[in-house]
């Protein structure tokens, strides 16, 4: 099969059995790869009601058909599982170089199932595949463990590793790679830890079959040329995602003190150019990337280094915690990375705890003697460590903001900023209705990368509640995640503005199958509906209520900043959902109708 290695690797960690199965041609046709393969295997193979921490849950690791080939940013790998944070669908994308080595080992997916009786790591060396003892590595940080494998096996081995957070069952643990890239969201690292799998280490030397080598060469060159010629290339490479910190601050989208405002009076010290000047040493990119957004930084005050921080981390561990010093934010970033927890969820749940403390709901005694004030960097560092260890007060926060608030009560549920149990990423949405809807309806919880609609809000009028905005969100949700299916980075399209049609001949040359973006969007629509059916299958009573955002965005207008006094009305939140369900072909309960499932060819799969 052109564009595919041809094998699915299945590893039963409980029995130690390792097998390979041929990649089914109809799976490649209908689900293409990456996130598509992950969702298919999750829906088909994980039984209803499976415990996310138990042996029946699976962790599926999937590159896409573009991964590992000379296509800009073709270094993306998808990790799919049943989320221990939300109880629903989790799919987290990771850049770097891992995915290329998985492809060179001839693999289209790795399905990890069962629970190992002892800590192990999976070593893939082309066709030599073994589970090896990892007892000596258990308890160590991600950076030390990655370095251990690079030192002992060689730089050509790529490593995906969990830290103590994943080992200890923190609900939002990450999988780390390349000393600074993460599959961060939804607790994919938690599931890896529950399986007692410390690391996946992989090196391959096989080639990927390509349908038309000359056409592939031409299409790849056209994509690289478009990136090289892009006007935004210089600024994007200089600042990466931090380029939007100042913009978000100016338009009132920068999360500030647990999303109570969208502008941060200390914000300027976190802006991209300040960070570049103060801490950035060099740029760092993923496999095949012509526009490296990774920034490698040195924090002199701490005598330490980190890849980052990028925008989301600056928002969630900086302004959202009232921290204005970029070195402090970068150090918090490093702690989270090394301990293996998601910076976004960590920032969200810590901000909730600080607000509880400042409101008198939690006391110093509750917080293990820490003074939880916005801007108290030392308390934030201590909390990150406590969360990763699930120690004392950290054990409460390690469950995520939704569950922690349910446990503490006293009205704190209202300012736990999440959707479906996932902490909202770094866009304040008091008066940005398309972005708010994107969070409300996102297939994994309140995550931004499926539909980054905030610019559309600013463009057409932030408080407008019109069908065009809803249609835009749906289009983005169907289209953008397809990059995670193909195994390539979306940022060359988003940030450099290259023509997405340039990918069409590349995909055809590689796979031998002609697919337009309209064809790909139909696949995206099918995946969106299938993930919705997974949520419904796994959660009794799932529906409309689950799509509601934090009341903060419809009850509490910010008191400061450019969005001061602005809010989305509750009736408008409901109208957004009504329009969304109608346009998606869902009932007013928020579930796909039978007719929609049939139209998308999903009826037999979900029955």
Binding of ligand SF4 at residue 350 (CB under 6 A)? Answer: no
Nearest-angstrom CA–CA distance, 517 and 498: 14
Nearest-angstrom CA–CA distance, 157 and 183: 18
Find the helix packing angle between 570-584 and 433-441, rounded to 10°: 60
Q: Smallest distance, Å, CB 500 to ligand SF4?
A: 15
Binding of ligand SF4 at residue 252 (CB under 6 A)? Answer: no
Whose Cβ is closer to ligand SF4: residue 95's or residue 165's?
95
Nearest-angstrom CA–CA distance, 171 and 396: 11
Closest to 508 measured CA to CA, from 59, 39, 42, 66: 66
Binding of ligand SF4 at residue 579 (CB under 6 A)? Answer: no
Whose Cβ is closer to ligand SF4: residue 227's or residue 353's?
227
Stretch that binds ligand SF4, among 39-47, 291-299, 343-351, 450-458 (CB under 6 A): 291-299
Among 84, 285, 487, 505, which residue interacts with ligand SF4 (rule: CB under 6 A)? 285
Q: Smallest distance, Å, CB 36 to ligand SF4?
A: 20
- Beta bridge mates, 89: 82
Q: 296 and 307 in contact (C-beta within 8 Å)?
A: yes
What residues numbered 395-424 form the site for ligand SF4, per CB under 6 A?
none
3-state secondary structure of 59: strand
What residues numbered 478-507 form the site for ligand SF4, per CB under 6 A?
489, 491
Whose Cβ is closer to ligand SF4: residue 73's or residue 445's?
73
Nearest-angstrom CA–CA distance, 287 and 419: 32
Whose Cβ is closer to ligand SF4: residue 78's or residue 538's?
78
Q: 327 and 374 in contact (C-beta within 8 Å)?
A: no
Binding of ligand SF4 at residue 95 (CB under 6 A)? Answer: yes
Q: Smallest distance, Å, CB 76 to ligand SF4?
A: 7
Q: Smallest distance, Å, CB 288 to ligand SF4?
A: 7
Task: Output DSSP code: residue 443.
Answer: B
Token representation of residue 453: 């609609």
Closest to 475 measured CA to CA, from 427, 518, 424: 518
Stretch that binds ligand SF4, among 288-296, 300-308, 408-416, 537-545 (CB under 6 A): 288-296
Q: In this structure, what are the phi and psi dihedrals at residue 108, rounded to the nearest 5 degrees?
A: -105, -20
Whose Cβ is closer to ligand SF4: residue 275's or residue 440's?
275
Whose Cβ is closer to ligand SF4: residue 11's or residue 489's?
489
Q: Smallest distance, Å, CB 200 to ligand SF4?
A: 19
Nearest-angstrom CA–CA distance, 593 and 358: 45
Count of Cβ atoms closer than 10 Å to residue 81 Cβ: 28
Nearest-angstrom CA–CA distance, 9 and 112: 8
Token representation of residue 518: 């309209």
Count of Cβ atoms closer than 10 Å to residue 228 Cβ: 13
Whose Cβ is closer to ligand SF4: residue 165's or residue 294's?
294
Binding of ligand SF4 at residue 272 (CB under 6 A)? Answer: no
Whose Cβ is closer to ligand SF4: residue 286's or residue 341's?
286
Nearest-angstrom CA–CA distance, 476 and 3: 26
Whose Cβ is closer to ligand SF4: residue 292's or residue 497's?
292
Whose Cβ is closer to ligand SF4: residue 198's or residue 450's?
450
Q: Smallest distance, Å, CB 241 to ligand SF4?
A: 8
Binding of ligand SF4 at residue 73 (CB under 6 A)? Answer: yes
Burial-class residue 365 by CB neighbours within 10 Å (0-12, 13-18, 19+). exposed
Q: 245 and 267 in contact (C-beta within 8 Å)?
A: yes
Whose Cβ is closer to ligand SF4: residue 121's or residue 479's?
479
Binding of ligand SF4 at residue 193 (CB under 6 A)? Answer: no
Q: How far is CA 172 from CA 89, 146, 371, in A?
A: 13, 20, 24
Q: Smallest distance, Å, CB 335 to ligand SF4?
A: 22
Among 6, 55, 292, 551, which residue interacts with ligand SF4 (rule: CB under 6 A)? 292
Site size toward ligand SF4 (CB under 6 A) is: 12
Q: Smallest distance, Å, CB 497 to ligand SF4?
A: 13
Binding of ligand SF4 at residue 286 (CB under 6 A)? Answer: yes
Nearest-Å Rg of the Cα atoms of the chain is: 22
Q: Smallest distance, Å, CB 494 to ligand SF4?
A: 9
Binding of ligand SF4 at residue 289 (CB under 6 A)? Answer: yes
Binding of ligand SF4 at residue 347 (CB under 6 A)? Answer: no
Q: Smallest distance, Å, CB 148 to ligand SF4?
A: 24
Q: Smallest distance, Å, CB 491 to ligand SF4?
A: 4
Binding of ligand SF4 at residue 294 (CB under 6 A)? Answer: yes
Token representation of residue 315: 């928002």
Task: Output DSSP code: residue 548.
Answer: -
What stretch of H or E contains 89?
strand 89-94
Closest to 533 measured CA to CA, from 605, 483, 588: 605
Distance from CA of residue 431 to its chain's centroid?
24
Binding of ligand SF4 at residue 592 (CB under 6 A)? Answer: no
Nearest-angstrom CA–CA distance, 326 and 344: 16
Q: Smallest distance, Å, CB 64 to ligand SF4?
A: 13
Helix locations, 414-502, DSSP H: 433-441, 454-460, 467-479, 482-486, 491-494
Among 32, 105, 134, 293, which residue interacts with ligand SF4 (rule: CB under 6 A)? 293
Q: 14 and 131 in contact (C-beta within 8 Å)?
A: no
Whose Cβ is closer to ligand SF4: residue 491's or residue 576's?
491
Stretch that binds ligand SF4, among 283-291, 402-410, 497-505, 565-573 (CB under 6 A): 283-291
Binding of ligand SF4 at residue 291 (CB under 6 A)? Answer: yes
Count of Cβ atoms closer than 10 Å to residue 49 Cβ: 11
Q: Smallest distance, Å, CB 197 to ligand SF4?
A: 25
- Beta bridge mates, 445: 443
Q: Smallest distance, Å, CB 63 to ligand SF4?
A: 14
Stretch that binds ligand SF4, among 63-71, 263-271, 284-292, 563-571 (CB under 6 A): 284-292
The residue ranges that bind ligand SF4 (CB under 6 A) are: 73, 75, 95, 285-286, 289, 291-294, 489, 491
């Amino acid at each position: 099969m052109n564009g595919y290695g041809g094998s699915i690797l299945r590893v039963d960690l409980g029995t130690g059995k390792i097998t390979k199965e041929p990649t089914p041609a109809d799976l490649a046709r209908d689900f293409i790869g990456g996130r598509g393969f992950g969702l298919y295997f999750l829906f088909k193979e994980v039984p209803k009601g499976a415990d996310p921490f138990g042996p029946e849950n699976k962790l599926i690791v999937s590159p896409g058909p573009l991964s590992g080939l000379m296509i800009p940013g073709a270094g993306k790998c998808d990790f799919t599982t049943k989320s221990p944070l939300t109880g629903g669908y989790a799919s987290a994308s990771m850049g770097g170089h891992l995915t290329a080595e998985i492809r060179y080992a001839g693999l289209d997916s790795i399905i990890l199932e069962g629970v190992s009786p002892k800590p192990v790591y999976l070593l893939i060396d082309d066709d030599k595949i073994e589970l090896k003892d990892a007892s000596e590595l258990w308890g160590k940080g991600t950076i030390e463990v990655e370095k251990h494998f690079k030192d002992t096996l060689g730089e050509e081995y790529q490593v995906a590793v969990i830290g103590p957070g994943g080992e200890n069952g923190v609900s939002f643990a990450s999988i780390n790679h390349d000393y600074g890239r993460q599959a961060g969201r939804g607790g994919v690292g938690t599931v890896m830890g529950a399986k007692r799998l410390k690391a996946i280490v992989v090196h391959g030397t096989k080639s990927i079959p390509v349908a038309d080598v000359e056409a592939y060469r031409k299409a790849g060159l056209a994509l690289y040329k478009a990136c090289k010629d892009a006007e935004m290339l210089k600024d994007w490479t200089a600042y990466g995602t931090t380029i939007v910190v100042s913009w978000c601050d100016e338009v009132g989208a920068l999360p500030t003190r647990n999303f109570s405002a969208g502008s941060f009076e200390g914000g300027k010290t976190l802006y991209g150019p300040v960070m570049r000047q103060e801490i950035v040493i060099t740029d760092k990119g993923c496999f095949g990337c012509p526009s490296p957004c990774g920034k490698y930084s040195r924090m002199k005050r701490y005598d330490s280094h980190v890849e980052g921080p990028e925008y989301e981390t600056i928002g969630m561990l900086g302004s959202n915690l009232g921290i204005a010093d970029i070195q402090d934010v970068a150090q918090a970033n490093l702690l989270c990375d090394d301990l293996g927890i998601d910076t976004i969820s960590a920032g969200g749940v810590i901000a909730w705890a600080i607000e509880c403390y400042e409101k008198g709901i939690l006391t110093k005694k509750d917080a293990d003697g820490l003074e939880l004030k916005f801007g108290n960097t030392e308390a934030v560092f201590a909390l990150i460590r406590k969360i990763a260890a699930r120690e004392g007060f950290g054990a409460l926060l390690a469950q995520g903001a939704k569950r922690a608030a349910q446990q503490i009560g006293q009205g704190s549920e209202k300012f736990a900023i999440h959707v479906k149990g996932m902490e909202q990423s770094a866009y304040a949405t008091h008066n940005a209705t398309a972005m708010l809807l994107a969070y409300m309806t996102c297939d994994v919880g309140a995550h931004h990368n499926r539909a980054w609609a905030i610019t559309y809000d600013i463009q057409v009028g932030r408080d407008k509640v019109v069908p065009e905005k809803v249609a835009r969100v749906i289009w983005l949700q169907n289209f953008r995640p397809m990059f995670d299916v193909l195994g390539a980075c979306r940022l060359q399209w988003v940030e450099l503005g290259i023509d997405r049609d340039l990918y069409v001949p590349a995909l055809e040359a590689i796979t031998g199958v002609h697919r337009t973006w309209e064809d790909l969007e139909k696949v995206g629509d099918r995946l969106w509906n299938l993930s919705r059916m997974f949520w419904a299958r796994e959660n009794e009573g799932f529906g409309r209520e689950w799509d509601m955002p934090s009341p903060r965005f419809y009850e509490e207008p910010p008191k400061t900043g450019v969005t001061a006094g602005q809010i989305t009305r509750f009736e408008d939140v409901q109208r957004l959902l009504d329009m969304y369900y109608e346009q998606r072909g869902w009932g007013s309960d928020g579930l796909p109708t039978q007719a929609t499932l049939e139209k998308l060819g999903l009826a037999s799969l979900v029955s």
